[in-house]
Amino acid sequence: MINVFLRNIVRFFFLVLLQVLVLNHVHLFSLYNPFFYLLFIVLLPFETNKLLVLLLGFVLGLSIDIFSNTLGLHTTATVFVAFIRPLVLNLLAPREGYEPGSFPRVHYYGWTWFLRYSFILTLVHALIIYMLEFFNIQELGQILKHSLISTLFTTVLLLISQFFIFRK
């Protein structure tokens, strides 16, 4: 338990620093930014208390907002992702349920499951970010375009993380 706790603390700080120091300056086609810090919420253990997930989502989003000067944009999106995470996990749960002591990773549930799981959470996050950023229904096409491309970009990075970092 302490090992999981320490690993998540290190992951939190690593992902925040990676996002604000490196990935906030990486732009696909000069427009689209990856939201790799979402990996923290995506990889939290299944048994994590829902209230704790919301609190961690708030602190994570606030940390990104403070360093990015985005005034609550990432906090709002990340808290909402933390809120819907249990719903998405229930939606994608295997028939026999999740194995006790397992984690939401490719190693345990396969590429297809992880792709669906991470894609849904990332898409919801990106939609909220761009809806708040554009804040105009007339820009719906731009919102959807930015959300989809950022989601694909981020999901690819999340999948790559599973391949390189979290091997068996």
The predicted structure's pLDDT at residue 66: 92
Does pLDDT of 123 surpass 70?
A: yes
The predicted structure's pLDDT at residue 11: 86
CA dihedral 48, 50, 54, 60 (to 10 degrees): 10
Does pLDDT of 168 surpass 60?
A: no
The predicted structure's pLDDT at residue 57: 95
Which sequence spans correspond to the domains of the chain?
A: 2-164
Q: What is the overall mean pLDDT for the chain?
A: 87
Does pLDDT of 148 surpass 60?
A: yes
The predicted structure's pLDDT at residue 27: 65
Rounded to whole angstroms, the Cα distance separating 105 from 107 reads: 5
User: Tokens standing for 23?
Assistant: 């990935």
Average pLDDT on 15-44 reads 82
The predicted structure's pLDDT at residue 63: 94
User: Tokens standing for 105?
Assistant: 């990773």
Tokens 């989601």 belong to residue: 151
For residue 42, what is the enclosing H or E element?
A: helix 39-42
The predicted structure's pLDDT at residue 30: 63
Q: At what angle do helices 140-164 and 106-134 cross, to 10 degrees?
A: 150
The predicted structure's pLDDT at residue 99: 81
The predicted structure's pLDDT at residue 10: 87
The predicted structure's pLDDT at residue 28: 63
User: Tokens standing for 33?
Assistant: 């930014």
Q: Which residue has the higher pLDDT, 133 or 56?
A: 56
Determine if residue 111 is left, alpha or beta; phi over 0 gives left, psi from -120 to 50 gives alpha, anything else beta.
alpha
Answer for the pair 61, 77: CB distance below 8 angstroms, yes or no. yes
User: Tokens standing for 113?
Assistant: 């499951």
| Collapsed DSSP state (helix, strand, coil) of residue 136 | coil
Average pLDDT on 84-92 reads 94
Average pLDDT on 80-101 reads 90
Answer for the pair 121, 88: CB distance below 8 angstroms, yes or no. yes
